[in-house]
Structure 1
């Protein structure tokens, strides 16, 4: 009955206790497949600058056949660093599509980090050369850690990592996280590091191009994470015209991803590669780019998984939410 309704709340600690990489990979793969098969819908993205200096966005969607509906309210508040907090903030809400009532509210920070890392890992599996062994990574923050963790997990051929930190200095704490899994060290020259790498991963705030276009050699694959808002970019002018481009969603990529800088570039959606891999054959000298803008369906499938696991384990809180 409506007066007996409850709203499940999953805070940071509960979410992090339930987030397992293999489960997130499965949920993210499902999201891409649902998107490819047009069983899952992605609604227009809201992404707006605020007077406070932050950027606020909403990603939403549904899977009618699964009775899955919801949204993620998220963004970036750089001033949070001065408060000792995380600048990226995200909250996911699952909604009953039959009534419009919220059923679960999930702390979305860890979800966003891990589902984005999982999406990057799936992109590498589909697009990087199978014998890839060297990585150039831009960034050493939360998302850089997620991307590299999934890359090493899903591509055991990767042995050497050269990274470029935001300050251009060594990051011993970052190195320590991966020192037992790969040969990791700072890059002394970013263009040389790109030229020497089979895989390039960019996880910066997207303020400007990170390297020269001539640095990218035939056969390189690039996972691009940082361009998620109009005006952001990490790739240099002229590079997209040389690549085979894969995106998570065509519309989003042309609006807020790297593809906004060359919107007429032919592209394929990653979900289509997962459902029909024969349509994309990678030649050894192809330069491939995965433009990652983040699908609402990824947030929803992961949040649903957490909701179900929390109920099974009696985790989270469930205050009364009558109507």
Structure 2
């Protein structure tokens, strides 16, 4: 079917799973999106959130524009069953892309794989910008979707890391973390830890990816001088934010929407010292002293989803993947 303004390429989970992309390619694509945003060439408005009073579900809508790629997109996410364990939850996320040069739709796709790659890539960029000189030990908390790729991405941006620690409770998740590490870095091994406080005290970089029901909560007093603590999901106590020497975020506005569980007893969050796009663009340094304890907040910016999603859409079109749907006929 010829492409026109009535058809839309729909890319399923299996379509995207069939596309190979290297970790370096993902990091480069995400980094480019941040540089474009820092240069004022892209737009990333604050996300919209809807959550019922009992908190059983949450939904987000994010609109953005990549000025270099010439693409406009909207991402939606819906998660149901937040009070249930992960196996009983329902989660759907989609990304719809439009070509802002031709005015034609590009694709609509499942956004789960994009998120599973983009988020650990952002954590790895935060680690690269925030880690103290000579950082050698990394600790990942959690073995879910984000935990499984956290170490391979960290090694992509910080290849000098020589000790890898993992805190997790689910045997299948621990096995999955080991498998992903072996797939990307077959010569590296990960140590599982049971004493979180001791592991945190030994770590230069901590990435907390655990789910909301985790009992893990690293306290500020456990962090060594120069440590970087990156929050993706759960696993860090609010003290790591409020007692940090520097606070870095992908977006302060997004942190104030999705980071309310880290607020103090008055419901307040501290001011962010620097946003990641500015650090990547070289406007200012994330770390200004080797001894600083840095808290970094990883919240999704839709411009990174747009860049990675467009990358996938181009590859899918080259391989004639997906289904052309006459949506507007």
- TM-score higher than 0.5: yes
Give the direction of change, closer, same or farther, for the CA distance of 1:147–1:258 in structure 2 (3 Å limit): farther
Is the partner of 1:24 in helix, strand or coil? Answer: helix
Match of 2:25?
Answer: 23
Give the direction of change, closer, same or farther, for the CA distance of 1:312–1:260 in structure 2 (3 Å limit): same
Give the direction of change, closer, same or farther, for the CA distance of 1:8–1:58 in structure 2 (3 Å limit): same
Give the direction of change, closer, same or farther, for the CA distance of 1:82–1:256 in structure 2 (3 Å limit): closer
Say whether the 8 Å CA contact 2:106–2:313 is kept in structure 1.
Answer: no
Which of 208, 218, 226 is the equivalent residue of 1:202? 208
Looking at structure 2, the residues matched to 260 and 267 of structure 1 have their Cα atoms a distance apart, in angstroms, of: 17
Quote how far apart the aligned CAs of 1:42 are.
Answer: 1.3
Match of 2:128?
Answer: 125
Match of 1:264?
Answer: 270
RMSD: 3.1
Match of 1:6?
Answer: 7
Looking at structure 2, the residues matched to 290 and 195 of structure 1 have their Cα atoms a distance apart, in angstroms, of: 17
Quote how far apart the aligned CAs of 1:225 are.
Answer: 0.3
Structure 2 gaps of 5+ residues are none
Quote how far apart the aligned CAs of 1:69 are.
Answer: 1.0
Matched, 1:220 2:223: no
Matched, 1:48 2:50: yes
Looking at structure 1, the residues matched to 238 and 107 of structure 2 have their Cα atoms a distance apart, in angstroms, of: 41
Q: For 1:155-304, what aligned pairs fall within 5 Å after superposition?
A: 155-166=158-169, 171-178=174-181, 180-206=186-212, 210-226=217-233, 234-237=236-239, 239-257=241-259, 261=263, 262-276=268-282, 279-304=285-310
Which contiguous aligned blocks of 4+ residues in structure 1 show a shift greater than 6 angstroms? 1-4, 98-101
Looking at structure 2, the residues matched to 192 and 248 of structure 1 have their Cα atoms a distance apart, in angstroms, of: 28
Quote how far apart the aligned CAs of 1:276 are.
Answer: 1.5
Is the partner of 1:299 in helix, strand or coil? Answer: helix
Across the two proteins, how many residue pairs are aligned to each other? Answer: 316
Match of 2:40?
Answer: 38
Give the TM-score of the pair, scaled to structure 2: 0.84
Say whether the 8 Å CA contact 2:147–2:177 is kept in structure 1.
Answer: no
Give the TM-score of the pair, scaled to structure 1: 0.85
